[in-house]
Amino acid sequence: MTAYSFFQELHSGFRYIVMVLFIYTLLVALFGWIGGSPYTNRNRVTNLMALISAHTQLLIGIVLYFLSPLVQFNKGTMKDPSLRYFTVEHWVMMVIAIALITIGHSKAKKAILPEVKHKTIAIFYGIALLIIIGALAAGHIPILN
C-alpha cells in the first residue's frame, strides 16, 4: 500500500465519522435552540468533538493533497474538471467550512445565554455542513464539472 492510497482511504473513511458527529451536533443544537434547553458540558464536548474531527480531517486532507496525482499545477488543470476539483475547488470549500466551524465554536464559547450558544452552533455548523455536502457533491455531479 502506497502512502497515497493509505491517506486516501483514511480521508475517505474518516469523513463518515465527521459527518455523523456533525449531524448529531447540529440536531442537538437545533433542538436545544428551539426547545430552550440548557447548554450543558455534554453540549460543549459534543461541539468540540465535531470541531476536532473536522480539523483532523483537514490535516489528513493536507497530507493527501501533496501526495495526490490528481493535484497538478499546469496549464491544463483548470480545463480538466477532475483535476480542477481536486487541485482547487475541494480544498477551498473545505477550508471555508472549517473556518465557519471554528468561528461558530469560538462565538458559542463566548456567549452567555444557553439559547445563544445553541443558536450559534446551529447556524455556523449548519452552514458549514451545507458547504461540506456541496463540496462533496460537486465532485460527483457531472453537470457541475
Domain boundaries, the chain: 3-144
Asked if 114 and 39 touch (Cβ cutoff 8 Å), the reply is: yes
User: Quick one: cell of 62?
Assistant: 493536507
Q: Is residue 7 within 8 Å of 63, Cβ to Cβ?
A: yes
Quick one: pLDDT at residue 142? 52
pLDDT of residue 138: 81
* pLDDT computed for residue 1 by the predictor: 84
Identity of the amino acid at 118: H
Q: Which residues of the chain have pLDDT under 70?
A: 140-145
